[in-house]
Amino acid sequence: MTRSKKFWDRIAKRYAKKPVGNEAAYRRKLSTTREYFRQDMELLEIGCGTGSTAIAHAPYVRHIRATDISDRMIDIAKDKARSAGVDNVTFEVCGIEDLDVPSESVDAVLALSLLHLLEDRDAAIARIHGMLKAGGIFVSNTVCLGDNMRWFRFVGPIGQWLGVFPLVRVFGRHELEESLTSAGFAIEHAWQPDKAVVFIIARRSR
- How far from chain centre, in Å, is Cα 108? 12
User: Taking the complete model, does pTM exceed 0.85, yes or no?
Assistant: yes
Q: What is the pLDDT of residue 153?
A: 74
- In order, the DSSP letters of the chain are -HHHHHHHHHHHHHHHHSPPS-HHHHHHHHHHHHTT--TT-EEEEES-TTSHHHHHHGGGSSEEEEEES-HHHHHHHHHHHHHHT--SEEEEE--GGG----TT-EEEEEEET-GGGSS-HHHHHHHHHHHEEEEEEEEEEEE-GGGT-TTHHHHHHHHHHHTSS-------HHHHHHHHHHHTEEEEEEE-SSSSEEEEEEEE--
**Mean pLDDT by groups of 10 residues along the chain of 206 residues:** 82 90 94 98 98 98 98 97 98 95 97 96 97 98 88 68 78 97 98 95 95
Q: Which residues of 5-44 are buried (b: 16+ CB within 10 A; e: fewer)?
A: bebbeeebeeebeeeeeeeebbeebeeebeebbeeebebb
The residue extents of the domains of the chain are 2-204
CATH class of 2-204: alpha beta
